[in-house]
Amino acid sequence: MQIHYLSEGNSVLNHFLGQIRNVNVHNDSMRFRRNIERIGEIMAYELSKELHYAPVEIKTPLGVKNTTEIKDQLVLCSILRAGLPLHLGFLNYFDSAENGFVSAFRHHPNNDDYFDILVQYQALADINGKNLVLVDPMLATGQSIVAVYNKLMERGTPKEIHIAVVIAAPEGIAHLKKHLPENCHLWVASLDEKLNEHSYIVPGLGDAGDLAYGEKL
């Protein structure tokens, strides 16, 4: 797996990452969503450098300019519900992409720390021969992304696979390396220290879905 760490140098990305972690601004859900969206835009720009381009001739009012445009067909897919603001950030840049949405959540059958992943709702464009970009803000254990990936592969075979996460734990990255193809690209805005005993990222930011859309029952 090819891993791209995006926050190793100083940039406005780190500014937005700091704001989404800050407990003093967590009561502003609109600001949280907008910052996740802006992080998605930055990640989309960085990911765009790995895409394939074709030469084109653009007619301007005063002449002709030779340039390039994206040749790949993209399908953006996010994991509901936390992935929606990140999805929007990517869509702001890849505005001609097709889209997909999948629900996945931790199911605690014994009401303890053990959980499995349930993947239910799916609405997905055709992914055959296209570049699949799977986005989710948090990569904790990695089980959700692997479960969603396995479901998506039942629907077709993409040409390339890119996975974009805002905050990742080392355990989740190790799980993806073990279960996903070597030619996958993993884009990580920020790498955190570890998972705690409840499999939450430390220092992390809390529950991204709750911060964006309110607490769930």
Residues 148-176: what's their mean pLDDT?
A: 96
Query: Considering only CA atoms, which of 3, 98, 82 is closest in space to residue 37?
Result: 82
CA 103 to chain centre: 14
Residue 104: is its pLDDT beyond 90?
Answer: no
Q: How far apart are the first and last CA of the chain?
A: 37
Give the model's pLDDT for residue 78: 95
Residue 171: is its pLDDT beyond 80?
Answer: yes
Query: Considering only CA atoms, which of 74, 78, 2 is closest in space to residue 36?
Result: 78
Instruction: Render the burial of 109-122: b for 16+ CB within 10 Å, e for the rest.
Output: eeeeeebebebeeb
φ, ψ at 26 (rounded to 5°): -70, -15
Instruction: Render the burial of 50-75: b for 16+ CB within 10 Å, e for the rest.
Output: eeeeeeeeeeeeeeeeeeeeeebbbb
Q: What is the pLDDT of residues 40-68, one digit of tens each?
A: 999 999 999 999 999 999 999 999 999 99
Residues 183-194: what's their mean pLDDT?
A: 96
Give the model's pLDDT for residue 116: 73
Higher pLDDT, 155 or 92: 92
Confidence of residue 90 (pLDDT cuts 50, 70, 90): very high
Coil, strand or helix at 197: coil
**Model confidence, pTM:** 0.92
Edge to edge, the sheet with strand 2-5 lists 2-5, 185-191, 160-168, 131-139, 74-80, 98-107, 116-124
Give the domain 2-213 fold. Rossmann fold (3.40.50)
Q: What is the pLDDT of residues 106-123, one digit of tens each?
A: 766 666 666 777 888 889
CA–CA gap between residue 187 and residue 61 (Å, rounded)? 39
What residue spans define the domains of the chain? 2-213
Give the model's pLDDT for residue 141: 93
Partners of 124 in beta bridges: 100
